Amino acid sequence: MNKLEVNQVGGFPLTTRILDELQKAYTIFNALGAIVGEITIISGCTVTGSNVSDGVVFINGEVLEFRGGLAQTKVRIVEEVENLTFQNGNANPVIKTRYATFGSGVGAVDWANFKRGFQTKDLVESLALKAEASIVTAISDAVALMYTKLNTIETGAQKQVRSDWNATTGVKAIDNKPDFSSPFLHKGVYPVGDVTSTDNIRTITFPDVGTNNYLVFAFPKVADSDWNRSNDTFLSWGNPTNTSFEVYLREISSNVQNINVGYVLIAL
């Protein structure tokens, strides 16, 4: 930084050059504003309601007084020039006062873009509180995964709910339970009596079961006490429809039988 040795005897030559050197010496302080960066509040400029207090700002590489007032959207730089009368009688511009304030015009900047400078004495403490980018990324990915999984949970779901097979309503009820009360489409007993010929066809009918894709388990049952005669038969089945199937009977003797056919239908 430049320095003037003014404390000397013999008559110091206080000329306009010396004054210009003084001005150059303090102008270098503008560079300190770059520490906080462009469009920055260095001090003051406190917002209270709709008003902003006076302060100091850094704009376009220049440290400037800020004259506050009613907050507006734009801030401009004002330069006021004061003329002084010289010995020769001429009035020349000498004192130039520059400051920033609210207002629009050429070169105005948005008030919303001003940021308050960060105090360097707090820098070490603030950096100690910063997390490593890799850790932040890992946490972010984990949160995103949890959020995705949480979105699959239905509204109103409760944790650790134990299902109740007998419940028909509420969170414990089981949806779409299979009905084990009867695994059969239909069951019944058909009275045959005597198989009157070697080959005999009987059609067994029943209410519509909605399909012909089923298995028939059919068994001859002796209908009286003379089992020795009634067991001389065997059967098979075929031609299934929604409402009937056929039983094909054969006797292996000419004895008079008395049998019933018990059957169940099981869907395939």
Specify the amino acid at residue 132. E
pLDDT of residue 179: 65
Mean pLDDT of the chain: 85
Amino acid at 131: A
Are 106 and 199 part of one and the same domain?
no
pLDDT at 80 over 80: yes
pLDDT score recorded for residue 48: 94
Q: What is the C-alpha separation between 78 and 197, in angstroms, rounded?
A: 125
Residue 60, pLDDT score: 87
Q: Same structural domain for residues 108 and 23?
A: yes
Short-list 71, 69, 43, CA closest to 56: 43
Domain contains 127: no
Residue 54 lies in a domain: yes
Q: Which of 56-70, 163-177, 219-233, 243-257 has the highest mean pLDDT?
A: 56-70
- DSSP 8-state code for residue 158: -
| 36 and 110 in a common domain | yes
**Residue 167 is assigned to a structural domain of this protein:** no
Predicted pLDDT at 40 = 92
Q: Model-level pTM? A: 0.44
Alpha helices, DSSP H, located in the chain: 16-27, 123-128, 133-150, 227-230
Residue 10: pLDDT over 90 = no
Matching residue, tokens 């049952």: 221
In the predicted structure, residue 154 carries a pLDDT above the cut 90 = no
Looking at residues 221-246, what average pLDDT do you find? 85
| Residues of the domain holding 32 | 16-122
Of the segments 74-88, 168-182, 189-203, which one has the largest average pLDDT value? 74-88
Question: Can you say whether the dihedral through the CA atoms of 208, 212, 217, 220 is positive or negative?
Answer: positive
Q: What is the pLDDT of residue 180?
A: 60
Most confident of 119-123, 149-153, 170-174, 236-240: 236-240
Longest dimension (CA), the chain: 162
> Is residue 172 one of the residues assigned to a domain?
no
E strands, the chain, are 40-44, 47-48, 51-52, 55-59, 62-67, 69-70, 74-85, 91-102, 109-110, 115-116, 186-193, 199-205, 214-222, 233-238, 244-251, 259-267
According to DSSP, the residues that pair with 191 across neighbouring strands are: 260
Whether residue 26 is contained in a domain is answered as: yes
Do residues 240 and 209 make contact, with C-beta atoms less than 8 angstroms apart? no
| Measured distance CA(226)–CA(232) in Å, rounded | 11
Least confident window among 36-40, 72-76, 172-176: 172-176
Task: Return d(Cα 104, Cα 95) in angstroms, integer.
Answer: 24
Most confident of 26-30, 174-178, 212-216: 212-216
**Residue-level pLDDT at 150:** 83
Do residues 21 and 107 both lie within one domain? Answer: yes
Do residues 114 and 196 both lie within one domain? no
Task: Please write the tens of the pLDDT for every residue from 18-53.
Answer: 788 777 777 777 777 777 888 999 899 999 999 999
157 has a pLDDT exceeding 80? no
Q: In the predicted model, is pLDDT for residue 197 greater than 90?
A: no
Residues 117 and 26 in one domain: yes
CATH code, domain carrying 229: 2.60.40.2080
Of 93-107, 147-161, 249-263, least confident by mean pLDDT is 147-161
pLDDT at site 76:
94
Q: Are residues 99 and 24 in the same domain?
A: yes
List the single range of 24-28, 106-110, 146-150, 260-264 with lowest mean pLDDT: 24-28
DSSP, res 117: P
Whole-number Cα distances in Å, 247 to 2, 251, 257: 123, 13, 16
**How far is the C-alpha of 75 from the C-alpha of 105, rounded, in Å?**
9
